Structure 1
Amino acid sequence: MAGDGTIGKACDVLEQVAAFGRPVRFAELLESSSFPKASLYRFLQSLTNQGMLSYDPDRQTYSPGLRLVRLAHSAWTQSSLAPIARPILDALSLETGETVHLAQLDSSQVLYVDKRNAKNPVEMYSEAGKVGPAYCTGVGKAMLAFLDDDLLDKAISQQSFHRFTDKTLTSEEVLRADLVRIRERGFAMDDEEHEPGIICVACPILTSGGRVLGAISITGSTQRMDFDQLKKWVPRVRRSADQIGAEAEAWRFPEGRKDRMQAS
């Protein structure tokens, strides 16, 4: 974030603190920080003074501050699809009994904004608030496939193509070929590409003009189902995606900036 100056650096520090998922000491932050000790300390002090971070003098730890919590709640309410989609996700979860995910693109990555667990939950990476890769998840590929060419080029250039499983798509060429198929059939599949034993089908959430707002998926485990069983839910997932898209437009969902990958 060098081009964003001080604000970008401060945001990097905020993300670093939040990534620990617990109160964190200065020494721990310094170990993984790209900033010199004095600079890191200065950013932490400024963020604490502004209420973006909270400092516990007894434990000598930093954690997200209440001001940041208020801003996050406001962003979730105004820019996330989650409040609009909640009753639709509830209905889909009740009907299918499977795990349901709602996601949006955030800087070319997948941000899970809501989730409903299956009747018989299966342990998996995704949770609301977590960030995951776009190139090897159903929701990620469903969104990538429907981006405009310039946005897609940028998004693909920012993928790591790390191999998570033997089935992970690990090159731009293979990913682009899969995205063509996804666009043609209207839905994406994750065939154990991110996690062993986890499969899913996903549909994009689009505006009437075709702009990508997010994606919704149904996820299952290969221990108790195969793709033939999972794909029977595609029409239902598509209807849910269309309904969320229509609701979002009715509520004038924020257009967002193109350089944020058409996501909030």
Structure 2
Amino acid sequence: MLVNSRFDATDGTGRIFAHMTAVDKSDGTVGKALAVLDQIASYGRPVRFAELLGDSPLPKATLYRFVQTLTNQGMLQYDVERQTYAPGLRLVRLAHSAWAQASLAPVARPHIDALSHETGETVHLAQLDHAQVLYVDKRNARDPVEMFSQAGKVGPAYCTGVGKAMLAHLPEPELTTVLAQQSWHQFTPATHGSPESLRAELAEIRATGISFDREEHEIGIICVSAPILNSQNRPLGALSVTGTTRRTNLDALAQLGPRLQQAARAIARDAESWVFPQSAAPHTMSQGERPYVRSDA
């Protein structure tokens, strides 16, 4: 059975390891190719074919065929000298387009800019990507601190402030499904180790409207977070203000809760009324007009 990697944890060395889920057979070749792209992107660095093969469930010939096709299509780039593969520029263009058209980032930008300026701390914007957190934007603190979360990275939902804020507002049985897909890796002594221990906190988050990361993902990193909810009370994303235990504490971050919720509500309002601008009306073919088809297509 081919598996698709959904990445929700790191092993402490920066290498991402995967919570593996099955690829639907109906996805066919496209699904397999995307799984290969997922795998290569997960390393966070150029990777040799031998390493890909060692981590892949695909036969050598099949994996090589996918890698070559993806390279020919510009989705991967190959370094001849180092003999390594990395995400290609075509993929970068697609990512920028998706960021602009499908994420909350363009709508939320002025609000997270204002929050970061007011608080002096790091502000994150995240959305749920299946069972994990995808960081779609970030503003650094006045005194930046190195941490896992970066725009474009994925992280675990069960032990991050933004993740818990969104999980708390998922309806059943969707929540049960998502919790079953978490890795429950013990990052720190404060990390939740099971769905049962997390559910009690999720009930509290629903009641208060804010969540906390109490050094659950990284030692020394704490945050307060609020969900961005649509008019049906479903999570569009989440917003957080993140600091370090060296210069702040949870009580101080909790004081930012009302301002964080205000920003989350503003983003939700803007998102529901936002329409991606169109440069021109679509062309409608007249009767008898035939679409142009390239002779070499």
TM-score, with length taken from structure 1: 0.92
Q: Distance in 2 between matches of 1:136 and 1:71?
A: 30
1:140 CA displacement: 0.2
Q: Distance in 1 between matches of 2:255 and 2:230?
A: 24
Q: Distance in 1 between matches of 2:86 and 2:146?
A: 27
Which residue of the partner structure matches residue 56 of structure 2?
A: 33
Structure 1 runs (4+) deviating above 6 angstroms are none
Q: Distance in 2 between matches of 1:178 and 1:33?
A: 37
SS at match of 1:24: coil
Q: Distance in 2 between matches of 1:25 and 1:226?
A: 43
Unaligned runs of 5+ in 2: 1-21, 277-297
* Identical counterparts, % of pairs: 64
Q: Distance in 2 between matches of 1:47 and 1:187?
A: 42
Unaligned runs of 5+ in 1: 254-264
Q: Distance in 1 between matches of 2:234 and 2:86?
A: 36
Greater mean alpha carbon deviation, residues 21-30 or residues 187-196: 21-30
Pick one of 258, 267, 271 that aligns with 1:235.
258
Counterpart code for 2:115? L
Pick one of 196, 206, 210 that aligns with 2:233.
210
CA RMSD of aligned residues (A): 1.4
Cα deviation 1:150-201 (Å, max 9, x = unaligned): 2211111111111111111111111111100000011111111111111111
Higher RCO (Cα < 8 Å, 6 or more apart) = 1
Greater mean alpha carbon deviation, residues 100-109 or residues 10-19: 10-19
Which residue of the partner structure matches residue 136 of structure 1?
A: 159
SS at match of 1:7: helix
Q: Distance in 2 between matches of 1:183 and 1:67?
A: 41
Map 1:48-67 to 2 at 5 A.
48-67=71-90
Cα deviation 1:192-212 (Å, max 9, x = unaligned): 111111111100001122121
Pick one of 124, 129, 145 that aligns with 1:122.
145
Which structure features the higher share of helix residues? 1
Map 1:192-207 to 2 at 5 A.
192-207=215-230
Q: Distance in 2 between matches of 1:116 and 1:174?
A: 31
TM-score, with length taken from structure 2: 0.82
Q: Distance in 1 between matches of 2:89 and 2:188?
A: 39
Q: Of the two, which has the highest radius of gyration?
A: 2
The count of corresponding residues between Structure 1 and Structure 2 is: 253
SS at match of 2:173: helix
Counterpart code for 1:2? V
